[in-house]
Amino acid sequence: MKHSSIRTAFVLVTCVGAVFCSPMLKATDERRGNALTSAVDARGIRYRGNQFGPGTLPWIGDAVRKGWPDYPYNERTKGHEGRGLFRLTLDLKTGSVTNVDVVHSTGFPGLDESAIKAFRYNWRWKPGKWKEVTIPVTFTLAPNRGRGPTHSSGPLTLPDLD
């Protein structure tokens, strides 16, 4: 990708089931993305995203704070794109993220690190509800088609990982 084309592109970063505003987002087929996400509740019962119909997943609905991963400039200029799957371990008492494991890498350490940092420091859940959440993230460069950044919100999902 030529450097000048970076100026005319906008970044798409999606997390399954997340509902919040960002100037850079893309909604994809929710059913396929939901199959990748899962959670373990406080009693140790595992739930999979494909058990639920369209709409916000219960564990995403219980998130009290969410934040997009940054798309590092260095990764954008190199044209790096990728899809990854991240397992978050939550503190039952506080709802904060205590650990983030990479289940499936985006293929680029810089993109993985950006997602880990966002989950670790920008996400929090209602205390006492969930102890583990697995969330897919995709980083995509897409042509802007002459429009400025747009703001949207709604359930966001990710295509299946290959």
| Structural domains of the chain in order of their starting residue, each with its CATH number | 3-143 (3.30.2420.10)
What's the pLDDT at 68? 87
CB atoms within 10 A of CB 122: 13
Tell me how far the alpha carbon of residue 46 is from its chain's centroid.
19
Q: How far apart are CA 69 and CA 48, in angstroms?
A: 23
What's the pLDDT at 63? 95
Would the CA dihedral through 76, 107, 33, 55 be positive or negative?
A: negative
Q: How far apart are CA 148 and CA 162, in angstroms?
A: 32
What's the pLDDT at 15? 57
What is the β-pairing status of strands 97-104 and 63-65? unpaired
The residues, ordered by sequence, that sit 6+ positions from 73 with a Cβ below 8 Å of its Cβ are none
What's the pLDDT at 30? 45
Phi, psi (rounded to 5 degrees) for 32: -70, -40
Q: How far apart are CA 101 and CA 162, in angstroms?
A: 19
What's the pLDDT at 112? 97
Q: Residue 90: which H helix or E strand, with range?
A: strand 82-90
> How do the pLDDT tens digits run along the chain, 162 residues long?
444 333 333 445 555 544 332 323 333 334 455 678 899 999 999 999 888 877 778 999 999 999 989 999 999 999 999 999 999 999 999 999 999 999 999 999 999 999 999 999 999 999 999 999 999 999 999 765 444 333 333 333 444 444
CA angle 61, 142, 87 (to 5 degrees): 35
